[in-house]
Amino acid sequence: MNIQKNISLKKYNTFGIDVKAKRFISISSFYELQQLLKTEKDFFLISGGSNMLLTKDLDTLVVHIDIKGTSIDRIEEHSVSLTVNAGEDWHEFVRWCIAENYGGLENLSLIPGNVGTCPIQNIGAYGVEVKDCITKVEALEIETGKLVSFSNQECQFGYRNSIFKNEAKGKFVLTSVSFQLTTNKHQLNTSYGAIEKELADQNITKPTLKNISDAVIAIRKSKLPDPKEIGNSGSFFKNPVISKALFAALLKEHPNLPSYPVSDTQVKVPAGWLVEQIGFKGKRFGDAGVHTKQALVLVNYGNATGLEIYQLAKKIQKTVFSTFGISLEIEVNVIS
């Protein structure tokens, strides 16, 4: 086992926060992980590092999951079943699916991170959530070293949520994710306004998987910062769910407040809109800032510390609450 000392985690988290791990190991096979779990139980896991804000040096062992590999389990008349190891890059996997004409994940193009973490927050974009295609998640139980399999239902998926953020949190290392994708008669999801517009602008009336993926990539590139250029973790806040009574009261003062239906009594409102209204869009405090084109995304212009980003988030939460009476919940995992 090659455990390294005092390693900077800057290149392992998309926010580009420069904290150090006292001990660090990169794991590239299932076998290595099993061996590690025989002696180490207390560690911090990092995979794509795309949904975390590191605010301090880590004294525990940091385990970087880098297990690669994809296998085709079964091909049926209209579908294919695949198992993908946790360390595969998400977007590269999506583009491979498109090249193979496997449908289902095209709307989730260009989401940063690795395959192994996609079920944790049930990544979603442009009308699709990854739970719609996941059949199984496999994980090693840290305490026992046993391989445990979670069916789609057992993952308890919700909006940016799953069992891995709740009762299973900290107990497992996710090792692979299995998907069922279509091989023909694809169920295309183009109803999201921005996709419709992008396709119409290009005069595409019968879109292919690649057309949709390309449209999503164009939309994301126009609104969201590329972590390779500006450090960020995508949506920093969840879109809050509020009561219809509060929504009606707010509408009187803010007639343009957008909303998405949730239930008879509740609606979801976009956090990005709220943050823009309080004047934080594009604001910069040193190297910590709010993205100029999407107020839902906090950014690191270079040398911001995790604490500086966190303090900015708290300022935003406080102002949104005093202005609208809405509590903004942080979506990113803050490590403090």
Q: Which residues are catalytic?
A: 160, 235, 331
Nearer to ligand EPU, 121 or 175 (CB): 121
Answer for which of 104, 116, 234, 306 binds ligand EPU (CB under 6 A) is 234
- 27 touching ligand EPU, by CB under 6 A: no
C-alpha angle with apex 33: 31 to 34, nearest 5 degrees? Answer: 65
Report in angstroms how near the CB of residue 211 gets to ligand EPU at its nearest. Answer: 18
Nearer to ligand EPU, 183 or 292 (CB): 292
Q: Bridge-partner residues for 27, per DSSP?
A: 65
Report in angstroms how near the CB of residue 133 gets to ligand EPU at its nearest. Answer: 16
Residue list 72-131, contact with ligand EPU (CB under 6 A):
125-126
Task: Give the end-to-end CA distance of the chain in Å, rounded to a whole number.
Answer: 28
Nearer to ligand EPU, 106 or 331 (CB): 331
Query: Distance between CA 223 and CA 184 in Å, rounded?
Result: 31
Find all residues with CB under 8 Å of 98, minimum gap 6, and list them.
Answer: 106, 109, 209, 210, 213
Taking CB positions, which residue lies at the least distance from ligand EPU? 234
- 281 touching ligand EPU, by CB under 6 A: yes
Report in angstroms how near the CB of residue 54 gets to ligand EPU at its nearest. Answer: 17
Identity at 151, one-letter amino acid code: S
Alpha-carbon separation of residue 166 from 33, 48, 113, 120 (angstroms): 23, 20, 20, 10
Nearer to ligand EPU, 163 or 295 (CB): 295
- 225 touching ligand EPU, by CB under 6 A: no
Report in angstroms how near the CB of residue 295 gets to ligand EPU at its nearest. Answer: 3
* Total binding residues toward ligand EPU, as defined by CB under 6 A: 17
Helices (H), 175-290: 193-201, 209-223, 244-253, 271-277
Instruction: Look at residues 273, 274, 255 and name the one whose alpha carbon lies nearest to residue 327.
Output: 274
Alpha-carbon separation of residue 82 from 75, 177, 185 (angstroms): 9, 8, 18
Query: Distance between CA 287 and CA 301 in Å, rounded?
Result: 5
- 295 touching ligand EPU, by CB under 6 A: yes
Q: At what angle do helices 90-99 and 209-223 cross, to 10 degrees?
A: 150
**Which region among 7-15, 95-103, 148-156, 267-275 touches ligand EPU (by CB under 6 A)?**
267-275
Four-residue CA torsion sign, 93, 98, 103, 107: positive
Nearer to ligand EPU, 15 or 24 (CB): 15
Report in angstroms how near the CB of residue 135 gets to ligand EPU at its nearest. Answer: 23
Report in angstroms how near the CB of residue 280 gets to ligand EPU at its nearest. Answer: 9
- 232 touching ligand EPU, by CB under 6 A: no
Nearer to ligand EPU, 22 or 279 (CB): 279
Per CB under 6 A, residues contacting ligand EPU are 125-126, 224, 234-235, 238-239, 258, 270, 272-273, 276, 281, 294-296, 331
